[in-house]
Structure 1
Amino acid sequence: MRIAVLKETAAGERRVALTPETAKKFIALGADVAVESGAGEGASISDADYEAAGASVASAPAVVKDADIVMGVRAPDPASLSGASKGAMVAAMFDPFGQRDLVDGYAKAGLEALSMEFMPRITRAQSMDVLSSQSNLSGYKAVLAAANTYGRAFPMMMTAAGTISPAKVFVMGVGVAGLQAIATAKRLGAQVSATDVRSATKEQIKSLGAKPIFVENVAGIEGEGSGGYATEMSEEYQKAQAELVSEHIAKQDIVITTALIPGRPAPRLISDAQIASMKTGSVIYDLAVVQGGNVEGAQADTPVVKHGVTIMGYSNTAGELAPDASALYSRNLYNFLSAFWDKEQGKPILDEEIGDAVRLTQGGKVVNERLNA
């Protein structure tokens, strides 16, 4: 069983799908691990580190040749995998809804595409969930980046010259990223509030010491979709939420938006008029900027100043912490593949529940129900 790891080719992508730590674990399972030279540079991992772990380091063609499993952060171009074994597994993030042509290319190439974004939100798959591990880091980094841009102190400071009031931070969307954003802002000493369309998150917000800001008296709206994700809200709820947010957002110094709906553009949470109501010098960090953005006028990797408010958001926030993001992502992949490792056959044999959820292509066809619906 040969496992191949290539250097990421997407612009600005510094993460790598395998660390020396997990390379050792795969080798202990009996796998032959090959890594493209320079693959770990962006994550502060040298070729010598991989070799010390027992992996071989070579050029891309040599690494891919006869590979049974290819691991990536972003799914590589199928043309670059022409030397892999027939029907080789490729475990990576595919952005299946946004890059359907890529998925079709994998089907034509006869490769078995395994989309890590489609990992089901079930208890036994928690350690395999790349979206959660990367979102955790994204929520943390978003607060730090916003704090740096804000340019003022976060905690309350009492000095002989007077008192500095704590920064007010408002987190919109309380998933994994939002919860980490709340926790990080609280650790920095800010006065934190948060909102979500799912009423079940109220207690989570309170448990972190933040103030829940929720629409009340709109019957029958819980906002909970399958797998713990939020769903789109009714017009009545959207109107009530907009009014509540408009009133609250005008008093905030920093706003972190995190709302995403799988397979759809990011919902618009903050309008230009709401931005105009904020104080000069305030900062908005949009974690959904790549998916269209939660904030009107947001641009990926380019801070925009509107009405004296800075709107920002990295296209790859977790990638800004490449060493830690790579370590967590690599463990996710190991937990996934090793959970189904058949010692007799020396390879992973995926079960139906998780295998069918993540498998996009097999036998020359697109087989995932979510893509064929």
Structure 2
Amino acid sequence: MDIQKIRADFPILQTTVNGKPLVYFDNAASSQKPWKVIKAIEHYYTHLNSNVHRGVHTLSQQATGAFEESRRKIAAFINAAHDYEVIYTRGTTESINLVAHSYGKQFVHEGDEIIISSLEHHSNIVPWQMLCEEKKATLKVIPINEKGELLMDAFNAMLNEKVKLVAVNYISNSLGTINPVKEIIAAAHAFDIPVMLDAAQAVQHIPIDVQELDADFLAFSGHKMYGPTGIGILYGKEKWLNAMPPYQGGGEMIKTVSFEKTTYNDLPFKFEAGTPNIEASVCLGAAIDYINETGLENIRQYEHELLQYATEKLAEVEGIRFIGTADNKASVVSFVIGNIHPYDVGVILDKLGIAVRTGHHCTQPLMDIFAIPGTVRASFAFYNTKEEIDILVAAVKRAAAMLS
């Protein structure tokens, strides 16, 4: 890959912060946008802007065509069997809540169990806690080892006929751990238990084939994969989506309405009530085009190089402790330095033009396991460089000297 050419595609990377060239290492929170996506947003509003599925006029038909073409691109990107298995949502959080509400309403009852892991984002903890409280079900948590890897023997011991769903992340947003999701799915399916994958940190880094994985549900967000905010995807196997009641009521999700009874629309529209985020849906397709043009395997290999380089160079910092040292990791480095609070390190790095994330990263129970208030997290994308990592390492050393 021509990294400098790629960097030129992202205009924000040419800016300065606090008088320093921007070094953006907060990609796990939200990625930057290439010109292809920015121009797609402009094109939508200057040439296509209209509501979808509801008009016979030309603009509505063109907007509908672009909206559904994007759905087809997304389905192809994850190799869904049918494009109607792809549901537009506002993001990973809404996708998980949709499953918790609709699947939970239909299939979870008093005394049942749901399994999550110790590595989960709050968005894959709280909806299941709410469901379990409502249904008087039990939430069980897969433990981890000191490296931040799931203890698979413990997980296998949890599986039984009471378990109605397993919900785990593909890649940990805090530690970068890549979970053995294919093994998890196979083990759960041996008990006829469906599996939901939170892939918010995965789809932009590694190729995903939902059919090869045999995933039942998979969720991700556009803004973490170089697309707009406010758009996400829920993939669900047709058999589950057909069996689940609608998440919301309103326009689009109906076939017929009377004051006595409503019949619901077919997939995917049954789960897409109201006017959708049309612009973001269309422009997510542009982001996928950009990723495909670059090549996910190229991205994966290069980001792995960045991870290895950053881990090696940061290890030179006196007093550093890496949090999350799994054998199989994505491009995330989380660390603490002695007894220095991560927030203080982050403030100094920001003064030097470096954007990292500090805190518990919406994984507070995970931080409690490691007995820390949070970490400094540097998360890399394919537009980052080793030279930027050198700047980070020098800045971390400077921060450590100032705060020790």
TM-score (norm 2): 0.33
TM-score, normalised via structure 1 length: 0.35
